[in-house]
Structure 1
Amino acid sequence: MKLKDLGVIGAVIGIVIMMVIPLPTGLLDFLIVINLSIALTILLVAMNTKEPLQFAIFPSLLLLTTLFRLSLNVSSTRAILSTGEAGNVIHTFGTFVIGGNAVVGIIVFLILVIIQFIVITKGSERVAEVAARFTLDAMPGKQIAIDADLNAGLINEKEARARRQKIEGEADFYGAMDGASKFVKGDAIAGIIIVIINIVAGFIIGVAMRGESASEAMTTYTILSVGDGLVSQIPALLISTATGLVVTRAASDGNLSDDLMKQLFAYPKMLYIVAGVMAMLGLFTPIGVISTWPVAGLIAFGGFRMQRNMKLETIREFEEAEENKQEEVRSPESVISLIHVDPIEFEFGYALIPLADVNQGGDLLDRVIMIRRQFAMEMGLIVPVIRIRDNIQLRPNEYVIKIKGNEVARGELLLDHYLAMSPGYDDESIVGIPTKEPAFGLPALWVADNMREQAEFAGYTVVDPPSVVATHLTEVLRRHASELLGRQETKQLIDSLRENYPALVDELVPNQMAVGEIQKVLVNLLREKISIRDLVTIMETLADTVLYTKDPDILTEYVRQSLARQITNQYKGPGGPVQVITLSPNVEKLIVENIQSSDQGTYLALDPRVSQQIYQRLAEQVQQLTVMGHSPILLTSPNIRMHMRKLIERVLPDVAVLSFNELDASVDVQSGGVVNL
């Protein structure tokens, strides 16, 4: 054990021993002075804390100081009744402080006890009780707010953990303070009883055992008893005040003195009114100007000085801000902030500001939070914080979506209209402004509010502008998800997986695969819109297959086969067989014959004219399936799936390329067309 631990243990044991063993009056004087010093220290610390948790030890400290004070009462009572002396400190309080008048001493003592017991202690007890109750009631809401900030990307996991610990600490602190305040209440009651016992018992001992006269015994023991009571009640009053300060202290940026000066005297002009009232009180009442005008003048002067200081402070802050701005421009490091690129940006013209302005009913920020949550659940990827801002260089109703500083999508909204998408045939009675749905490029109309119900009855799909933006943003994120996953984001996913699957992660990383190699596999999956949420299966497959190859493309094919059930559920319809397009045997043979190998892996070296023919034939089959209402899926053999995907991804990016091993055996597959040359 450390020396300080032994010191605390020894002090607690010594407090208990003081109640049993008589103390010399010199040592008693020393301990009483220590008691006063501790009480004053606690009061000053309570005044300088910014929030209650900075003095979290206070409930335990309150118990120890109360026990110490009661042990001093026991020791002083023993000295008073046994020898008629209790040391210089008690004697001084009994003679000098109360002037040697026992009646005055008793009255002063009772007033102190009443102030402590009824005013300070009772109020502190009530505040601690209410604060504990309200803190416990508010815990669920605070926890939800922390989770919302964490999901929105406003704080990281470390900050969220610290805020949760702070909430738990506040609940524990106020709960402990609710009980600890009872110590002070009991101490006040004990002080009254001890003084009464000292007076009565001292009078009996002085008359019956010491042979003193009744008046002499009453005067001696009353003065000593009242002095003992004052010596104990003054530190108790200081600690009671500290208790009230701690439980009524709200979190702020400064201590008590700073808050008093900033808040109580924040309006210097009000001091002029107070000074005027005080001056009129002395002028028109019998109080007189001698008592009131000096106070009025002092208050007026204080208001003048504070008003002048506030003006000087404002000027100084402005000058410092300008100087800092100039220094930042002149600093060679000032350009560092300019090279930062936000992962995702959403910029809009000034006419679309109501979309993001909560005061105008805009819910774009809430929709973005829901998009990030939905994306995490569907794709297993944590979308970075989306930077939303207006751009005066855009047209008023225009918006732009950027990925890493580069524009990837653009659209236009009419906030006072609704977007009506055609059901496949046009109704001439529906009048609107022709446009295209921004997410999928479908023909649509911007219809006015009075045309909305008519368009819905005609079979049109009608959505409001915020929903249009949310759908477009979601689709853009899905298409470019692979660009948002870097090594740092991959490491965060691996670290999160390590908490529940440490053996799996430790075996694979970094012994068999580096973070960058895993990131390439995950990027390949996201590029084809395959969710990486089942990270356990992905990592298990990588751990099994990395022994045979480290080619990220081949590893991706193994992972896709392990995710067959997930891929099947992603592409199969609500019912009926899965409609697919297949390659004819001669086309598959042609592709296999043109697969070349190199040090960097395998690649497809196909004649451009043959590639163009494959594009045309596949596009024809895709169009037929699309007209029939089916999603285009190209089904190939496992050994050429990767190469076919790379062949058509620039021309037909929305066509899903699957292999036979990636479809669950329980799913019916029906050929919707064959690509033949």
Structure 2
Amino acid sequence: MKFKTGDIVLGLFVVGLIFLIIIPLPPTILDVLLIINISISTIILMSALFSKEPLDISLFPTLLLLTTLFRLGLNLSSTRMILRDGYAGEVVQAFGEFVAGGDIVIGCIMFIIITIVNMQVITKGSERVAEVTARFTLDAMPGKQMAIDADLNTGFIDEAEAKKRRKKIQDEAAFFGSMDGAAKFVKNDAVVGIFITFVNVIGGMIIGVAMGGLEFSDALQKFTIVTIGDGLVSAIPSLLISTATGILVTKTSTEQEMSTTLTKQLLSSPLVLMIVGITITILGLFTPMGIVVTLPIAAVWFFIASRLNKQQKIAEVESEIDTEDEAAEEIRKPENVISLLHVDPIELEFGYGIIPLADVHQGGDLLDRVVMIRRQIALELGSIVPIVRLRDNIQLAPNAYSIKIKGVEVAKGEILFDHYMAMNPGYVEEEIDGIATTEPAFGLPALWITEMQREKAEVKGYTVVDCPSIIATHLTEVIKRHLHELLSRQDVQTLINNVAETHPTLISELTPKLLSVGDIQKVLGNLLKEGISIRDLVTICEVLADYATSVRDTDVLTEYVRQGLARAISRKLFTLPTNQVITLDPTVEQQIMSSVQHTEQGAYVALDPKVVQNLMNQLKREVNKLTSVGLQPIILTSPIVRIYFKHLTEQYMPDLIVISYNEIEQDVEIQSIGMVSIA
């Protein structure tokens, strides 16, 4: 394990703080450490003052603990010297004689005032602010997290920015929680300082009179001056640290330096400064203060107000000029249309009447539902769903919504606000009153009912859903139907990289040696187009690696992959003890295979249109037999015919399920109840 020099120095410093309490120090070393203590306190104060936000000094609670321990060690070392020698070095002596004026009373008063200001004003206020800020920060965390999820879902930020914002929220909560407790260090440090000073005075006089043979007045003068100096040399750094704590917990995030922000906020209005100047002038003219002191100060405020007024007028003119120049420059720029060329993969546009459903501040949960849709599809189909951009569109009807795929509307619907949609599952005979409508996702007949009718409809057996669920369900079905279009090469590369973390040999053999990312994308798109999950990407890649050495046609490779996923396909489609299907007449299969034409762009079926029409009519009759009894129609073909027959039916029945014999597990029982033939 490699140790860094900085870590070693930090470790020795912390250990040295402990030894500082135990080991007696020479006066010279104590002087150096006291100056270092004042320097560190000043550095911390300046860092807190000029930081842009509290998290810029995220280790402040730890620094607070270490500096408090450092001052305590110095206090104990100086106390040992005072009680032993009546002397604690030049620094302590200078604070006692120079800062306190060499007077016991003045020194005591100064020390008491500094300590009281530190404890009751700065430290107590900082402690309260830290406590309230920590509480508010923790209470605001859920709302901030939801806001980040909302921005992520609407496309305002990406995953990296969302992760960065979430980490900042967690860091803020941890920081202010630590500051709430760390503020106690400063407060208790001031209390200990008073106690140590009291002990030094009493103990020093006892030692001086009883053991040193000094008169009471001499002992009082000698030990009190040194003790006051020791108290001041500790109280001043403590005051600096307390001030830094107060600044940090009251600071708000800003992109500008604190000096710039203060100047803008306090000296932003010439009117305010003019009123201040007039007030000071009146005080000088009509009170005993006199004009000698007040008029120069008032003149300074008048001067600043005049300069500020001129600067603001110049800034307004420059702003107008800059705005005009920018507008003209934007018109002249040939690149100003680049931002308009971006097309969102998925868009959900809605009229202004649906805005409350998407606004979290009004109790809407549509954004949360969109997040769940992406997760649900990822678990169900194993594909990456692009971010769904939600936006309002005043051109739509108030309660209408539109779903777009790559900028083109593919579905739309309309809801009745403050109503529920009730659907008859097929076995409810008793009717209810409502406004007739059609369920947008599946085209089922439905009724709009009010809140008062909801419970009654549910009791009778109707399926009742609210408006957000209607939109979310419609959006889910549209995404599933177009998921093969939304799967990009970049998404495929992301999926491949995920597999490569656990199966590097498989991926290195498959791509780019045997198949390109584009080829894999076509295979995965073919699977998704027919609703086959690609979540088991390892098995898919294994099959592709086995057959890609001899087969280059992605459609044929798709068939091999489907056979490799036979267990998953069977478990999804066949759930009954005996499953009924429709088969193809061998003559039909032979005719289809003899009509297959192979080109460089792929293979297609070149059947006579009349034959195709006749074949589709026969297929529809057989399909209607299954749907009439409530069963899902499934067409069973030979492996070599499946893909071509699926291509034939896509135009007429795009949702028809076509599988081959090789895609069925051996333990699944199949019963053919119909056969498609050409009359």
TM normalised by structure 1 equals 0.81
CA 1:648–1:256: 2 relative to 1, 3 Å: same
What residue number does 2:516 align with? 514
Q: Is the 8 Å Cα contact of residues 17 and 70 (structure 2) preserved in structure 1?
A: yes
CA 1:496–1:292: 2 relative to 1, 3 Å: farther
SS of the equivalent of 1:109 reads: helix
CA 1:398–1:131: 2 relative to 1, 3 Å: closer
SS of the equivalent of 1:473 reads: helix
Question: Structure 1, residues 307-357: CA drift from partner, whole Å, max 9, x if none?
Answer: 887787677667655544443333232221111111122334566656656
SS of the equivalent of 2:651 reads: coil
Letter in 2 for 1:584: D
**Aligned-pair distance for 1:296?**
8.9
CA 1:558–1:113: 2 relative to 1, 3 Å: same
Q: How many residues align?
A: 675
What residue number does 1:23 align with? 26
CA 1:51–1:498: 2 relative to 1, 3 Å: farther
2:110 to 105, 108, 111: 108
What residue number does 1:541 align with? 543
Higher alpha-carbon deviation: 298-307 or 517-526: 298-307
Q: How do 1:628-647 residues align onto structure 2 when only pairs under 5 Å count?
A: 628-647=629-648
CA 1:154–1:112: 2 relative to 1, 3 Å: same
Q: How do 1:61-210 residues align onto structure 2 when only pairs under 5 Å count?
A: 61-77=63-79, 80=82, 85-125=87-127, 128=130, 155-170=157-172, 172-174=174-176, 176-177=178-179, 180-203=182-205
**Aligned-pair distance for 1:652?**
1.9
Letter in 2 for 1:651: Y
Letter in 1 for 2:570: T
CA 1:605–1:424: 2 relative to 1, 3 Å: same
**Aligned-pair distance for 1:55?**
0.9
What residue number does 1:345 align with? 347
CA 1:410–1:68: 2 relative to 1, 3 Å: closer
**Aligned-pair distance for 1:644?**
0.9
What residue number does 1:482 align with? 484
CA 1:373–1:321: 2 relative to 1, 3 Å: farther
What residue number does 2:614 align with? 613
**Aligned-pair distance for 1:594?**
3.1
Higher alpha-carbon deviation: 630-639 or 493-502: 493-502
What residue number does 1:594 align with? 595
Q: Distance in 1 between matches of 2:309 and 2:75?
A: 51
Q: Distance in 2 between matches of 1:600 and 1:276?
A: 87
Q: Distance in 2 between matches of 1:547 and 1:555?
A: 11
Q: Distance in 1 between matches of 2:437 and 2:358?
A: 23
Question: Structure 1, residues 103-142: CA drift from partner, whole Å, max 9, x if none?
Answer: 1211221222233334434454565566667767877787
Question: Structure 1, residues 43-78: CA drift from partner, whole Å, max 9, x if none?
Answer: 111122233332123233233333433444455445
Matched, 1:625 2:631: no
What residue number does 1:658 align with? 659
Q: How do 1:405-424 residues align onto structure 2 when only pairs under 5 Å count?
A: 405-412=407-414, 415=417
Matched, 1:578 2:579: yes
1:48 to 47, 50, 63: 50
**Aligned-pair distance for 1:485?**
0.3
Q: Is the 8 Å Cα contact of residues 153 and 370 (structure 2) preserved in structure 1?
A: no
CA 1:121–1:319: 2 relative to 1, 3 Å: same
What residue number does 2:387 align with? 385
Question: Structure 1, residues 637-667: CA drift from partner, whole Å, max 9, x if none?
Answer: 1111111111221222121111122234444
SS of the equivalent of 1:382 reads: coil
**Aligned-pair distance for 1:219?**
1.9
Q: Distance in 2 between matches of 1:353 and 1:70?
A: 60
**Aligned-pair distance for 1:526?**
0.9
Letter in 2 for 1:110: I
SS of the equivalent of 2:655 reads: coil
CA 1:615–1:300: 2 relative to 1, 3 Å: farther
Higher alpha-carbon deviation: 123-132 or 106-115: 123-132
Higher alpha-carbon deviation: 539-548 or 553-562: 539-548
2:534 to 532, 535, 541: 532
Q: How do 1:275-424 residues align onto structure 2 when only pairs under 5 Å count?
A: 320=322, 323-348=325-350, 356=358, 364-391=366-393, 399-412=401-414, 415=417
Q: Distance in 2 between matches of 1:198 and 1:394?
A: 82
Q: Is the 8 Å Cα contact of residues 151 and 373 (structure 1) preserved in structure 2?
A: no
SS of the equivalent of 1:346 reads: strand
Question: Structure 1, residues 502-557: CA drift from partner, whole Å, max 9, x if none?
Answer: 56555545555433232211100111122223334333433444455343222222
SS of the equivalent of 2:390 reads: strand
Higher alpha-carbon deviation: 299-308 or 162-171: 299-308
Question: Structure 1, residues 377-429: CA drift from partner, whole Å, max 9, x if none?
Answer: 3322332222333445556665443211223234455558776778899x9x9
Letter in 1 for 2:534: I
Q: Is the 8 Å Cα contact of residues 155 and 389 (structure 2) preserved in structure 1?
A: no
What residue number does 1:552 align with? 554
Matched, 1:492 2:500: no
**Aligned-pair distance for 1:165?**
4.0
2:245 to 243, 246, 249: 243
Letter in 2 for 1:195: T
Q: Is the 8 Å Cα contact of residues 433 and 446 (structure 1) preserved in structure 2?
A: yes
Letter in 1 for 2:45: L
CA 1:462–1:157: 2 relative to 1, 3 Å: closer
**Aligned-pair distance for 1:625?**
3.2
Letter in 1 for 2:345: P
CA 1:16–1:359: 2 relative to 1, 3 Å: closer
CA 1:12–1:389: 2 relative to 1, 3 Å: closer
**Aligned-pair distance for 1:36?**
2.0
SS of the equivalent of 2:389 reads: strand
Q: Distance in 2 between matches of 1:413 and 1:182?
A: 57
Q: Distance in 1 between matches of 2:354 and 2:152?
A: 27
Q: Is the 8 Å Cα contact of residues 153 and 390 (structure 2) preserved in structure 1?
A: no
SS of the equivalent of 2:221 reads: helix
CA RMSD across the alignment = 4.8
Q: Distance in 2 between matches of 1:252 and 1:372?
A: 35
**Aligned-pair distance for 1:668?**
3.7
**Aligned-pair distance for 1:583?**
0.8
SS of the equivalent of 1:401 reads: strand
Q: Is the 8 Å Cα contact of residues 22 and 78 (structure 1) preserved in structure 2?
A: no
Q: Is the 8 Å Cα contact of residues 153 and 387 (structure 2) preserved in structure 1?
A: no
What residue number does 2:567 align with? 565
CA 1:577–1:273: 2 relative to 1, 3 Å: farther
Give percent identity, aligned residues only: 55
CA 1:226–1:451: 2 relative to 1, 3 Å: closer
Q: Is the 8 Å Cα contact of residues 347 and 407 (structure 2) preserved in structure 1?
A: yes
Q: Distance in 1 between matches of 2:64 and 2:164?
A: 27
